[in-house]
Amino acid sequence: MSLLDFINPFNRVADVVDQFVEDKDASNEIKKAIAMAAEETYRKELEARTVPWVDALHKMGRQLTGYLGYALAFYMVHKGGVDPMAVMAAVAPGGLYAAFKNKGQKG
């Protein structure tokens, strides 16, 4: 189970059903309804209208956070008095974004 599975409210409801509903048939029926609600919610999200420049910015998120982090680290190195923790803090957001964003992409 990943972090995003824990955040998903449908998964949390299914976990509660597992804990408190003893009848397997009723539990399966409730889980089926939860899965249908989750799928319908996903379809509604896909149908939602978006703003093109926000979509483009989101798609460029990994590159932007990476380049901004490296630029900030480069600036700190040339400014002098480099604190290694500050450099790591500048570069970390790009790496974290890439780690979570690429989690579902299995080649």
The pLDDT value given to residue 24:
86
Query: What is the per-residue pLDDT for 106?
Result: 55
CA distances from 74 to 10, 70, 79, 94 (A): 44, 6, 9, 15
For the segment 2-7, the average pLDDT, to the nearest whole number, is: 55
**Quick check: 107 pLDDT over 50?**
no
Answer whether 62's CB lies under 8 Å from 101's CB. Answer: yes
pLDDT in tens, 38-52: 889 888 888 888 888
Return the pLDDT at 103.
61
pLDDT digits (tens, 9 = 90+) for 50-100: 888 888 887 887 788 778 888 888 888 888 777 778 778 878 877 777 777
Q: Name which residue leads in pLDDT, 30 or 96.
A: 30
Ordered DSSP codes for 40-98: HHHHHHHH----HHHHHHHHTHHHHHHHHHHHHHHHHHHHS---HHHHHHHHHHHHHHH
pLDDT at residue number 7: 65
Residue 5: per-residue pLDDT: 57
